């Protein structure tokens, strides 16, 4: 995930900063992307 502040909001200088991801956030993002891409609702992680 990122934080972006535009030049208008930051009075002339814009910046982008990458936020640290925890393992929980990474797994959540991965499962969300799989759900959107494959249109499946549930996944079996035992295979």
CA atoms of 22 and 15, how far apart (whole Å): 23
Query: Which pTM was predicted?
Result: 0.49
- Residue 1 belongs to some domain of the structure: no
CA atoms of 10 and 4, how far apart (whole Å): 10
Residue 13's pLDDT is what? 92
CA atoms of 25 and 30, how far apart (whole Å): 9
E strands within 1-47?
A: 2-5, 15-18
Domain count, the chain: 1
Residue 14's pLDDT is what? 94
Residue 6's pLDDT is what? 94
- Residue 14 belongs to some domain of the structure: no
Stretches in the chain below the pLDDT threshold 70:
40-41, 43, 45-47
- Residue 38 belongs to some domain of the structure: yes
- Residue-number span of the structural domain to which 31 is assigned: 21-47
- 2-14 CB burial, b ≥16 within 10 A, e <16: eeeeeeeeeeeee
- Residue 43 belongs to some domain of the structure: yes
């Amino acid at each position: 995930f990122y934080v972006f502040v535009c030049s208008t909001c930051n009075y002339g200088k814009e910046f982008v900063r990458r936020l640290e991801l925890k393992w929980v956030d990474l797994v959540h993002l991965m499962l969300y992307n799989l759900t959107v891409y494959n249109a499946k609702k549930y996944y079996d992680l035992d295979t």
